[in-house]
Amino acid sequence: MSESSVLQILKRKETDRFQVSYVQNNRSGRREIVLLGKGAGKHRAEHTKVNILDASGKLIESRPIDDQIADFILNHFEARGDTESFSIYQEDLTSGKLNRHRERVAPDAVRHKLTTEEKTFTATGAKLWYHKPVFDKFRDTGFGSIIRATLTNHQVCSSRCQFCSTISRNKKDSVTLDEAIAFIDTLYHEQARINRERFPEYNEAYRKATGSDIRLRGLILSGGGQPNLWPHFAEFVEYLATLDIDLGLITNGFPPKISESTYKHFKWIRISVTPEDASPFYPGGRFDKQYLPETIKHNPDITVGYSYVFGPWTTDDIIQRIATSMDENGFNYCRTLTDCNLSREMQLLAHRELAERLHRLGFVDKAGNPTGRIFHQLKYHGTVAEAEELWDKGQCYLQPYNVFWDTTGHEENGHSYCYACDSVTVLVDSDEDGTVSTSERKFNSSKWGTVKNTDVHRLFSEPVQPFFDPRKICTSCLFMRNNRTVKEILTAPPDAVGPDLTGIDHVNFP
């Protein structure tokens, strides 16, 4: 069947960034809303269900899309955007009108306890204290130290997740093996040399605390959904294995042509479980039937976890199968969270629902403590007031220690940009009237870029300077807690030691 005979378009709307189509899918027999990005990558997301909420924001049900729902979504798409549109209050649906003044949920209304697992397997900021000498150096000298990096070496992905954070990317953007190696060599060898020569006092203090020169300590290969589809993946990992860097991998699948031994070099691997109809390589549409390398199963030397985004596609069955699959494969954890493209208000409602679902299924207790290896990461957008107070000097505090190199623009320009974090793709604000300024869902170097990949040395060989004012363009930052921890370390007494890190692992991924 050709695509035009499979998808019968019933209604269509054009926005600045998307073609939004209401379609009859003649293969599945379902009605869908299809979002087609207008960017060079032409990425698409297919939505088959929406969350229907009661007046207090509680989930009534996940309902298949029908004519009434499609009309509501298309009529309010400009105000609600490409993510919020798929959570609809029943009252609004019935009246056909958008009530813009809804009750808000405070973070402490969510059943949740911050655990050692959440601190170990996610970047909550707690691990930053382990690296205190690099922040002493920053406070006293103004120079940064890039101890953690994330690379997206290409933009290829075989899935079509509704919540994709880089849906507007160009899949032709990719880097060469030499470019990737040059980037790492700079952060590893050149940075260590500069610290030994120019900052011996801080370098020695860091050596005493951690056994290493100040240089790159933790590296994550991520992006493009499957970093292991990048043609040079195996060779690059072999090169990285010759260095003393802790390696992490974030992927939503395992291409069969990669040797299973390649994965032995990772300290941790996090497998994104996508909505099951979004990944064509899931046999029979089941994530738990996918190919997994034998080297990552029941392997005490590699921490393996699942990551699961809660949304209208979620069923009790999939959460239960995640727990079973962890047991069967000897995996260590599953991190669950909500769609970061939602505004703070809608994201907190979703967090409350996720917490209640995990509680109902017995995966968290009454107080919000996990009962097993599934935990809830309570990550949500910040506010304008927090931004003003936190960044009183107009400087993002992740920039002095963290770099995210994304390849967006590489095809056209022959270079691409570094960023202080990856949450810049999902920053989303909503005003008092409930109108949402949707996330860019791609890396925009003209707003958040710091230096070109070829100039990454400037992040540690020149004094730290703000490349943008986060109070103006990062008010919904997802890493305010990490920013706050850095600020606390910078203003703490010299002999302060920070919180007890007993039991916390993966310290080189702060």
Residues forming contacts to ligand SF4 in the complex (CB under 6 A) are 396, 398, 420-421, 423-424, 448, 470, 474, 477, 479, 483
Smallest separation (angstroms) from ligand SF4 to the CB of 200: 30
Smallest separation (angstroms) from ligand SF4 to the CB of 470: 4
Smallest separation (angstroms) from ligand SF4 to the CB of 445: 12
Query: Can you state the angle between helices 77-84 and 67-75, rounded to 10 degrees?
Result: 110
Smallest separation (angstroms) from ligand SF4 to the CB of 135: 15
User: Are 175 and 154 within 8 A, CB to CB?
Assistant: yes
Strand, coil or helix: 338 = strand
CA contacts within 13 A on the Cβ side of 208: 9
Of 439 and 483, nearer to ligand SF4 (C-beta) is 483
Smallest separation (angstroms) from ligand SF4 to the CB of 96: 36
The label of the residue with tokens 């919020």 reads 84
Q: In degrees rounded to 5, what are phi and psi of residue 66?
A: -130, -175
Smallest separation (angstroms) from ligand SF4 to the CB of 476: 8
Continuous segment of H or E residues that includes residue 49: strand 49-53
User: Are 436 and 79 within 8 A, CB to CB?
Assistant: yes
Smallest separation (angstroms) from ligand SF4 to the CB of 330: 34
Smallest separation (angstroms) from ligand SF4 to the CB of 361: 33
Of 354 and 424, nearer to ligand SF4 (C-beta) is 424
User: What DSSP assignment string belongs to 368-397?
Assistant: S-BSSSEEE-------HHHHHHHTTTS--S
Smallest separation (angstroms) from ligand SF4 to the CB of 382: 8
Task: Please name every residue paired with 338 in a beta bridge, in sequence order, or none if there are none.
Answer: 310
- CA-to-CA distance for 286 and 276, rounded, in angstroms? 6
Of 355 and 387, nearer to ligand SF4 (C-beta) is 387
Continuous segment of H or E residues that includes residue 446: helix 445-448
Strand, coil or helix: 438 = coil
Task: Spell out the SS3 assignment of 58-118.
Answer: CEEEEEECCHHHHHHHHHCHHHHHHHHCCEEEHHHHHHCCCCCCCCCCCHHHCCCCCCHHH
User: Are 222 and 252 within 8 A, CB to CB?
Assistant: no
Q: In degrees rounded to 5, what are phi and psi of residue 118?
A: -65, -40
User: Are 23 and 31 within 8 A, CB to CB?
Assistant: yes
Of 93 and 220, nearer to ligand SF4 (C-beta) is 220
Of 218 and 470, nearer to ligand SF4 (C-beta) is 470
> What strands, in cross-sheet order, belong to the sheet with 87-89?
59-64, 49-53, 87-89
Of 119 and 381, nearer to ligand SF4 (C-beta) is 381
Of 72 and 479, nearer to ligand SF4 (C-beta) is 479
- CA-to-CA distance for 180 and 55, rounded, in angstroms? 51
Of 321 and 442, nearer to ligand SF4 (C-beta) is 442
Residue 383, token pair as written in the block: 């506010």
Smallest separation (angstroms) from ligand SF4 to the CB of 483: 6
Of 100 and 472, nearer to ligand SF4 (C-beta) is 472
